[in-house]
Amino acid sequence: MNGIPVNNILFVSIALFFIGMYGLFTRRNMITMLMSLELILNSVNINFVVFNKYLYPDKLDGLFFAIFIITIAAAEAAVAIAIIINLYRSHRSIDVETAEEMKY
């Protein structure tokens, strides 16, 4: 692992972040949006791990954060999917645009 320059890893993480961002903004399908969100979170996870490794190799704070985020992401995914399923039941669709009763 030592052989990989930090820039490369950061490049991967940034790519991952913007791919997620792009997905989040452009997709109307909620599942895809959720997946994009996971990509963003994972890009952040990578950053945490990498910076921890390179800046403070003898501390574990970054790793803790990464684990923390993974946990929250799991919970978030559970809640989100529950909402999505409910939405699908009531609207027969998981397109975000169809759920607009509460608009204005």
Partner 1 sequence: MSYSSYIALIPILPLAGFVLLGLFGRKYLKNASGIIGTGLLLVAAVLALYTAYHYFFVDGKVGDQYQSITAFKFTWLSFSDNVSIDMGIVLDPISVMMLVVVTFVSLMVHIFSLGYMKGEERFSTYYAFLGLFTFSMLGLVVSGNLFQVYMFWELVGVSSYLLIGYYYDKPSAVAASKKAFIVTRFADLGFLIGILVLAYYGGTLDIGTLIQKLTQQQSAEFLAISTASLFGVSALSWGLCLVFMGGAGKSAMFPLHIWLPDAMEGPTPVSALIHAATMVVAGVYLVARLFPLFTLTQASLTVVTYVGLVSALIAAVIACTQTDIKRVLAYSTMSQIGYMMFALGVSGYGGENGLGYTASMFHLFTHAFFKSLLFLCAGAVIHLVHSNEMKDMGGLRKFMPVTNICFLIACLAIAGVPPLAGFFSKEEILLAAYNSNKLVYGEALFTSGLTAFYMFRLYFSIFWNKQKDFHHHNDHGEGTMSMKIPLIILALCSAGAGFIHFGEFVSSDGKALESQFDPVFSAAPVLFGLAGIMLAWVMYKRETDKPQKVAASLGGLYRAAYHKFYIDEVYLFFTKKIIFNLIGRPAAWIDRNVVDGLVNASANITADISAMIKGLQSGKVQAYALYFFGGIVTLAVVFLYWWK
| Minimum distance, C-beta of residue 61 to partner 1, in the bound complex (Å) | 24
Residue among 3, 7, 75, 102 that touches partner 1 (CB under 8 A): 102
Q: What is the number of helices (H) and of strands (E) in the chain?
A: 3, 0
Nearest to residue 82, comparing CAs of 34, 26, 14? 34
Residues 18-57 that bind partner 1 (CB under 8 A): 21, 24-26, 28, 33
Taking the complex as a whole, the smallest distance from the CB of residue 104 to partner 1 amounts, in Å, to 6
Q: Which residue has the tokens 């669709």?
A: 93
Q: Taking the complex as a whole, how short is the minimal distance between the CB of residue 103 and partner 1, in angstroms?
A: 4
Local structure of 68: helix, strand or coil = helix
Tell me which residues in 71-100 interact with partner 1 (CB under 8 A). 96-97, 100
Is the distance from CB of 84 to CB of 30 less than 8 angstroms? yes
